């Protein structure tokens, strides 16, 4: 029996159903927030919505986000270029530098930067230099940029590696100078990678409150956290969360418009030839200085801060707890990484193989999960589980599902990119040999997605290891992760006790980042 035309155009059910399910799951928090926001007295709700203070928070949020976009771009573009296209030595090392900051919890970076200045700061102790502490907008800008730039760096790096050398050679043969090639050929081709990285960074900044709260810079997320932590009523918190989500919807639409028609640049890989390395020449020492500055701020200062804390003497009870915390962190982060990727595959598949308005909207839903402030997401899941599926309340299953849903956006990018590079012809060939579509996908396409899957899973793993608000709210009783320990001890001013947990996060992340890149380097 032949299916009617519109049904034949639909993706197969085993990809469509999970996608729709994910879309529905992401909507749970939205529905919850709207119910909560409307649950209040109408005049009070409008009063809270149109407070002048919201404007200040809004402006702070937008200006910080824009600032971070500018700074991370200025850091990531040169670093990505150096690590792929220049003749700088130790490229693997530079790549590691561009990834490792992902392993640092944002508030640890903030503590490290705060610890530099002041009467008793590191600079005063070591160099006798008493400068005031870097706080507020500039402190937040520096801290947030330092731990988010890897998202852009990794995307651009993949973009540089995926470029087809022949376009640049063609431009050169037409008499373009190196600079003109960069501006007119290379950078435009990197736009999809650039936008993918910027999107993740933007959404991350919008939802982050750890560093900004320590820097005393009041953004919407920080305010949301305050309302949530302090208050017994949820109305204002819900309103702020909805304002935040509205901003992210604007960002998503903007990204979609900018990306439209660009995506097929990615298809130009597969020429087996290597890109020529550019000689750094006079720029060599400037490049070394640039890389050195990044190492200093994003790695040396935070890591030394942690070691300095530890040198103050850690109470023995902490060591007894450490093993438990490591186990808990890995036991929830690893399944979350696997689940995220399993969710990302169908979404990416229907978006790439069955491009349509619907599949695109479904894919955007993945980003909406990322954009929903984690606190709001966690509250919604508490509410939902208590009222609809009480057996799931405070279980590992719910926590892992919430992680996976929230971090899905980090997994979907790499999976989608590798799917673009996997030719549909292979699947068609497999089907013509008598396999059904699902088997053909498993046998021919899935192995080609391996790299994207590993990268995506690593992103989610690293993020889940650092995650706080969702863990605080949804963790089963007694589960206590590395990140929760770092946060709790440091908030009490017990930095020595926080240090071993922070180092463990770093250690495990390095381990996983190692796995992530060992494959690429082997080949």
Partner 1 sequence: MKLHNFILFTALFLFFTGDALAQLTIYSGRSKALVDPIIAKFEEETGINVRIRFGGTTQLAVAIMEEGRRSPADVFWGQDGGALGALHNQGLLANLPEPILGGIPEGFKNNDRTWVATSGRARVLAYNERRVSQDNLPESIFDLTKPEWRGKVGWSPANASFQSFVTAMRKNLGEEQTRQWLTDMKNNGAVAYNNNNSIIQAIAAGEVELGITNHYYIERMRSENPTYTVNMTFFSDNDIGNLLNVAGVGVLNSSRNKENAERFIAFLLSDEIQRYFVNETFEYPVIYGMDDYDSKLIEALEVSPSMDLELLSDLDATLRLLRSVGLL
Binding stretches for partner 1 (CB under 8 A)? 51-53, 114, 117-121, 130, 132-133, 135, 213-214, 216, 223, 226-233, 236, 312, 315, 317, 321, 335, 338-339, 342, 382-383, 386, 390-397, 400, 472-473, 475-478, 480, 484-485, 488-489, 491-494, 497
> Closer to partner 1 at the Cβ: 80 or 484?
484
In angstroms, rounded to a whole number, what is the distance separating the alpha carbons of residues 14 and 2? 19
State in angstroms the smallest separation of the CB of 341 from partner 1. 10
State in angstroms the smallest separation of the CB of 364 from partner 1. 26
**Residues paired with 278 in a beta bridge:** 86
In sequence order, what are the residues at sequence separation of 6 or more whose Cβ sits closer than 8 angstroms to the Cβ of residue 219? 57, 60, 61, 64, 209, 212
Q: Where are the alpha helices (DSSP H) in 128-234?
A: 136-162, 165-173, 178-181, 187-189, 191-207, 210-214, 220-230
| Contact present, 443 and 378 (Cβ < 8 Å) | no
> Closer to partner 1 at the Cβ: 110 or 455?
110
The per-residue b/e assignment along 233-246, b for 16 or more CB within 10 angstroms, e otherwise, is ebbbbbbbbbbbbe
Q: What is the CA radius of gyration of the chain?
A: 24
Taking phi over 0 as left and psi of -120 to 50 as alpha, with beta for the rest, 162 belongs to alpha
> Closer to partner 1 at the Cβ: 69 or 375?
375
Residues 14, 17, 20, CA angle at the centre, nearest 5°? 145
> Closer to partner 1 at the Cβ: 263 or 310?
310
In angstroms, rounded to a whole number, what is the distance separating the alpha carbons of residues 70 and 212? 18
**Which element (helix H / strand E) includes 331?**
helix 316-353
> Closer to partner 1 at the Cβ: 259 or 494?
494
> Closer to partner 1 at the Cβ: 434 or 478?
478
> Closer to partner 1 at the Cβ: 12 or 476?
476
State in angstroms the smallest separation of the CB of 314 from partner 1. 11
> Closer to partner 1 at the Cβ: 262 or 397?
397
State in angstroms the smallest separation of the CB of 106 from partner 1. 14
Q: SS in 3 state form for 103-135?
A: HCCHHHHHHHHHCCCCCCCHHHHHHCCCCCCCC
State in angstroms the smallest separation of the CB of 377 from partner 1. 15
DSSP for residue 144: H
State in angstroms the smallest separation of the CB of 322 from partner 1. 13
In sequence order, what are the residues at sequence separation of 6 or more whose Cβ sits closer than 8 angstroms to the Cβ of residue 457? 337, 338, 340, 341, 411
| Contact present, 236 and 48 (Cβ < 8 Å) | yes
341: its two tokens: 């990727």
**Residues paired with 86 in a beta bridge:** 278
> Closer to partner 1 at the Cβ: 98 or 452?
452
> Closer to partner 1 at the Cβ: 79 or 239?
239
State in angstroms the smallest separation of the CB of 180 from partner 1. 48
In angstroms, rounded to a whole number, what is the distance separating the alpha carbons of residues 498 and 111? 12
């Amino acid at each position: 029996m032949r299916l009617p035309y519109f049904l034949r155009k639909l993706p197969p059910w085993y990809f469509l159903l999970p996608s729709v399910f994910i879309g529905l799951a992401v909507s749970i928090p939205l529905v919850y927030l709207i119910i909560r926001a409307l649950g209040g007295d109408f005049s009070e709700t409008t009063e809270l919505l149109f407070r002048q203070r919201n404007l200040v928070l809004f402006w702070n949020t937008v200006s910080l986000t824009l600032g971070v976009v500018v700074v991370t771009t200025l850091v990531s573009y040169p670093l990505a270029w150096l690590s792929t296209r220049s003749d700088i030595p130790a490229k693997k090392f530079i790549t590691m530098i561009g990834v490792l900051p992902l392993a640092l919890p944002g508030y640890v970076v903030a503590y490290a930067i705060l610890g530099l200045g002041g009467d008793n700061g590191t600079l005063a102790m070591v160099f006798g230099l008493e400068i005031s502490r870097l706080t507020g907008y500039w402190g937040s800008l520096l801290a947030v940029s330092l731990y988010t730039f890897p998202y852009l760096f990794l995307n651009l790096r993949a973009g540089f590696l995926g470029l087809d050398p022949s376009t640049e050679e063609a431009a050169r043969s037409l008499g373009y100078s190196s600079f003109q090639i960069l501006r007119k050929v290379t950078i435009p081709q990197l736009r999809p990678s650039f936008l993918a990285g910027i999107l993740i960074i933007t959404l991350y900044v919008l939802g982050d409150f750890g560093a900004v709260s320590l820097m005393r810079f009041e953004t919407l997320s920080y305010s949301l956290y305050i309302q949530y932590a302090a208050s017994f009523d949820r109305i204002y918190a819900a309103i702020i969360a909805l304002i935040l989500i509205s901003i992210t919807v604007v960002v998503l639409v903007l990204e979609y418009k900018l990306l439209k028609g660009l995506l097929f640049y990615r298809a130009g890989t597969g020429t087996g030839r290597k890109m020529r390395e550019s000689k750094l020449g006079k720029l060599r020492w400037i490049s070394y200085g640039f890389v050195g500055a990044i190492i200093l701020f994003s790695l040396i200062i935070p890591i030394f801060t942690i070691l300095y804390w530890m040198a103050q003497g850690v109470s023995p009870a902490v060591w007894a707890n450490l093993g438990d915390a490591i186990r808990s962190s890995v036991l929830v982060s690893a399944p979350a990484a696997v689940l995220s990727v399993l969710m990302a595959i169908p979404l990416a598949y229907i978006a790439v193989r069955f491009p349509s308005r619907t599949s695109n909207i479904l894919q955007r839903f993945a980003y909406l999960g990322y954009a929903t402030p984690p606190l709001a997401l966690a509250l919604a899941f508490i509410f939902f589980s208590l009222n609809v599926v009480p057996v799931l309340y405070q279980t590992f299953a719910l926590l892992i599902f919430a992680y996976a849903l929230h971090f899905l956006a980090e997994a979907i990018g790499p999976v989608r990119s590798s799917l673009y590079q996997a030719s549909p012809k292979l699947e068609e060939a497999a089907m013509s040999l008598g396999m059904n579509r699902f088997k053909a996908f498993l046998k021919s396409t899935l192995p080609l997605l391996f790299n994207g899957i590993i990268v995506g899973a690593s992103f989610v793993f690293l993020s889940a290891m650092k995650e706080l608000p969702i863990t605080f709210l949804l963790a089963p009783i007694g589960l206590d992760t590395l990140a929760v320990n770092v946060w709790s001890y440091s908030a009490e001013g017990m930095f020595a006790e926080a240090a071993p947990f922070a180092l463990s996060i770093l250690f495990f992340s390095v381990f996983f980042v190692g796995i992530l890149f060992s494959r690429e380097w082997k080949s």
